[in-house]
Amino acid sequence: MAQLNLLWIVFTLAGGVLFGLGPATVAAYTLARRHARGESIHAWTEFWHVYRREFVRGSLLILPVAALATVLFGNYLYLSALGPGSGALRMATFVALLALAGVGTYLGPLYAHYDLPLRAYLPKASLLALTRPAASVLMLFVLSAIAFATAAAPFLAPVISVGAWISLNTWLCQRFFQENEARLHPKGNS
C-alpha cells in the first residue's frame, strides 16, 4: 500500500498533477488488481508501462469525474459558508457529491477489470452503484474511514492513504465482480 501510494504520488506529479492524475490512478488500480489476484509484479517498471499506455484513456476517464467532484465540493463549501439559508441547496449538493463518490468507487476497479469502450465505464459504474447498495455503502464507509484517518493524521496522506484506498477498493470490487458474474452466469447454464 505504501509503495502504491508513492508510485501514485510520483507519477501524478510527473504529469503535472492535472495530466498525471488519470493515468496514475489507472496504473495504480491495474497494479492493485494484479496484486489482489496474487500475481507477482515489478511495481516501478509495470506502473510506468501502464501509465504510458493509458495516458490518454486514463485522463479521459478520470479527469471529468475529478473535475465534477471538485466543482461539487467547492459548491458545498461555498453554500456552507452562506449559513442556514442555503440548507436545501447545500443538502442537494452533498447528495450529488455522495452519489458521485458512490459511482467513483467502482470506476477504477471496473476499468482495471473489464475491457469496455471508454464511454461505457461511467454508465456501468453507475449501474453497479445503484444495483449493489450494500456494497456501495460498504465502499463509501471504507473511503470515509480512510478520509477521516487522513484528516486526523495528515502525515498518512503522503505515506499510505491513497495506496490503502486503491488496494482495499480493488480487493472489495474484485469480490463484488466475482459475485455479480456468478449471479449473472450460474455454472449450470451455458
Residue-averaged pLDDT of the chain: 94
Instruction: Give the whole-angstrom CA distance, residue 41 versus residue 53.
Output: 17
Give the SS3 label for residue 26: helix
pLDDT tens column, 7-43: 999 999 999 999 999 999 999 999 999 999 999 889 9
What is d(CA 14, CA 134) in angstroms, rounded to the nearest whole number?
Answer: 37
Tell me the C-alpha distance between 121 and 54, whole Å: 15
With 70 as the cut, is the pLDDT of residue 121 above it?
yes
For the residues 99-125, what does the mean pLDDT come to?
97
Q: Which three cell numbers stand for residue 141?
A: 464507509
pTM score of the predicted model? 0.92
Helix-then-strand count for the chain, H and E:
9, 0
117 φ, ψ (degrees, to nearest 5): -60, 145
CA distance 137 to 143: 10
pLDDT at 189 over 70: no
